Structures are given as C-alpha cells and as structure tokens.
Amino acid sequence: MPPATPPAESSAAPETATGAAPASLAGREYEVEIGPVAHGGHCVARTEEGRVLFVRHALPGERVVARVTEGHEDSRFLRADAVEILDAAKDRVEAPCPFAGPGRCGGCDWQHAAPGAQRRLKAAVLAEQLQRLAGLTAEEAGWDGTVEPAPGDKVPRGEVPAWRTRVQYAVDASGRAGLRRHRSHEIEVIDRCLIAAPGVSELGVEKRAWPQTASVEAVAATGSNDRQVLITPRPDGRLPLVELDRPVSVMRVEEPRGRNGERTVHRVHGRPYVRERAAERTWRIGAGGFWQVHPQAADLLVRTVMTGLTPHKGDMALDLYCGAGLFAGALADRVGEKGAVLGVEASKRAVEDARHNLADCDRVRIEHGTVERVLPRTGITEADIVVLDPPRSGAGKKTVRQIAALGPRRVAYVACDPAALARDLAYFRAEGYVPHFTKAFDLFPMTHHMECVAILKPVEKGA
C-alpha cells in the first residue's frame, strides 16, 4: 500500500542515465478505481500497470477518469485530478462553489463530498496516521473514531458553512482578487468565497481592483466589529487607496520577511490590531498575528483542554507555543493566586500581545523564544500540567523529551496536523506518556484540515 501522505517531491524532472529528463506524464489520462482517502485532500488509486496516483476531486469507491497534473516517467507517484466520474459514490454532491473543481481554486478539497462524508474521510485519515506513525488504534488513543462538527456547522447536503474569519486573497497582474489554484502560483479570480465568514464577505474585497498589489488578507474578528485588511504591494508598487464596503483598518505588509521570519507590518490607518473574544476575555491580536480561524474554535479548544487537564489551585502550568496567551489565560483563572503559568512563544509580536492580554495576571510570565531553547534556561525542573499547541510541523523529539522530563500529571497536545500529532505521540510514548483521551474537530469544513486535542498521562507503573 502506498504511503498515506505523499512524500515531498520536486516538480523538476530528474535526469536519466543518458542525461535526458524523463518524459512528463502531465495530461495523460487513466481510467481507475479510487481507493482509500489519503492525508492531503486526495485519494489513492493505481493504474493497471501498478503506478500510484494521488487523485483529487474523487471519493473512495468511485470509478473515474484521472488526468495527471504532476509527474514523470520516473516519478515514485503521480498527482492527478478526477476529470470524469464514471461511477459516483453515494456521498458525492455537486460542488456548491462555482470556482471548485479540477484546475480551479485550491482553497477547498472536499466541496464534492456531503458534509458528513467529509468528517468520515477526516476520521479515516486520523485513524491511519495514528496507526502508521504512532502504532495506536483508536481505542488506544482514547478516541471514539469521529470528527465532530463545530457548534452551528451542521449543514444540509449541498450547503457550505461560512466559517473562515481570515482569508488571504492573491491578486493577479490586472489587479483582480482571487485564490491560488492547487499547488500552483496561478490565480483563480473569484467574486465570492463561500467559506468566508460574513464579516469577511461584507468587506467586498473581490469586488474592487487592487493595482500594484500582490495579496490582500481580510480579517473579521469574532466578538467585536473589528475588520482589517493587510495589503502586500508588488515590488516597488504603491499602496492602493482602500475603499471597502465596511469600516476597516489598513496595514501595509513588507516583503521579504524580517530576520525572525515575521512579516514587517506598518499601520496605514485604524487600529494595528483586532479584538477577539474567547474564554471570557477580550484578546488583542496584532496585525497578521495568529488566531484560530474558525469563530467557534478558541472556546471549543479551551473547553476541551481544560476538561482534560483538570487544573488544580496552586498548579505550576506551562503553555508552550502560547501565541497571544489563550490557554495561559484560561490556566491562570484556574490555578489561582498560589499557582503559576509560564508561556513560551517564538513570535515577538505574539509575545507583546500575550503580555498585554494577561497584564492583570500577576502569576503569568511570558517568555520569548523557541520552546526547546527557553525551557532549559527557565530553571523550571517540574510542572503539574502542560499545554502545547505547536505549528503544523509538530513539536519534535527534543521538545517532547524536555516536557516529559518535567513530570507533568497531564499534557494537552493541540494539533492541526494528524501526521505531526501521531509522530509526537510516538515520541511521548517512548518517554512514558500515553493518550488518556483524544478528540477531533472539523474546524476547517470543505478542506482536508482538522484540529485534534490529545490529553496525555504517564504510563501507570507495572503497566
């Protein structure tokens, strides 16, 4: 069986023994039966000669005509689009979005699948990643095998929840806004995005021209009326005059990125931040700073994490990769005056936000730097509870070892990538920590992404 996550492979054709590049197979069509879903928004199929295809716009069990989009004669696998459905699955629906489909917008992966089917596909991916990378069954992971919708996201077949509170639009050479095509720099010009939250759609970014502009990011805060656009001009381009359909603050983003990898953002007018509301607090999020993109995500994740950790008064708690301080604030409210919370965050802008957001919490300290470098220099030798919400690449073996060495009674791992979660769960198990329970949430409907929370505990002695 081919790997469920296709390995990174260059689009450039390798040279053959004769020095000539192998022939491209792009455009070749195969009639294939679609096999299981794979991590990344596609399904696995094989040609009659046994060549592996990763096929988008298909569903397990279908028979389709798949047209190759990437790959050469010597490629380990090919990427393809289902361009004709010969035998459709019962879960197939007509894509609600007019810009979805082969060769079109790459923002969504499962517009052609019924909402319940999308969650079943994601559950299959998570189960496969846990088994293959962590050696865990669903039962061993404490997971019920389902991916839960966010509150209010259950919609009938053929409908799309409008959930995305931050949308990054690319702009073509003529100044029209759109979204990137899958694995491409080409831009699909659109007049609306169905998954965009109402606060983003009402700005009308797609309706106006953006001369000399490379990209426009639109932000609609949850819990406030704050709206923001971040504009990245083309090299040597001028910032356009911004006239949108709602009051909005405007930021200019400079590329290339700064030394620390963060974008350089300048205020043009309006507030240089938006105010988000979650966990009974208002949070300042600086321009371009990270915040959960689904409007229900922050509260849902906080509830799940706190339920799993069961903080006690007087606990020493860590919030690693703490961002603007969401989990640190929730922990501070629960550990009380005799407890303490340490947050660690690599983004300088997020650290400034976290310190501002938690200025009223005397027992919270926010440190700037990478987790693996900051933890050893804090002098902390033990902790009661730990939250980590790493980037998509995961925490990694070294950080897992550092956390386990502190001997926490519970660890809450928040993950946006099932493969990274599974790899890190394997590292935790090697350090004596196993899942107590795992939850999965569909916080990115229509895409292949999901959010997971795994609560870990030390292995019982004698087990």
CA 95 to chain CA centroid, Å, is 22
Q: Of 153, 33, 48, 38, whose CA–CA distance to 89 is shortest? A: 33
Query: Which residue of the set 322, 361, 416, 452 is catalytic?
Result: 416
**Under 8 Å CB-to-CB from 26, ≥6 apart: which residues?**
68, 69, 70, 71
DSSP 3-39: -SSPPP--SSPPP-TTSPPPPB-TT-EEEEEEEEEET
| 3-class SS shares of the chain: helix, strand, coil, % to 5 | 20, 30, 50
Q: Judge whether 372 and 395 are in contact, CB under 8 Å.
A: no
Helix (H), strand (E) at residue 403:
helix 397-405
Pairing of strands 364-368, 340-345: parallel
Whether 361 is catalytic: no
**Class of residue 209 by CB neighbours under 10 A (exposed 0-12, middle 13-18, buried 19+):** exposed
| Helices (H), ranges, 256-344 | 297-309, 326-335
**CA atoms lying within 13 Å on the CB side of residue 68:** 21
d(CA 410, CA 315): 11
d(CA 226, CA 169): 19
Sign of CA dihedral 395, 400, 401, 404: positive
Output the six-digit token pair for 357.
């957001």
Taking the chain, what is the end-to-end CA distance rounded to the nearest angstrom? Answer: 33
Q: Judge whether 306 and 334 are in contact, CB under 8 Å.
A: yes
DSSP 41-83: TEEEEE-TT--EEEEES--TT-EEEEEEEE-BTT-SSEEEEEE
DSSP single-letter state for residue 111 = T
Active centre residues (catalytic)? 416
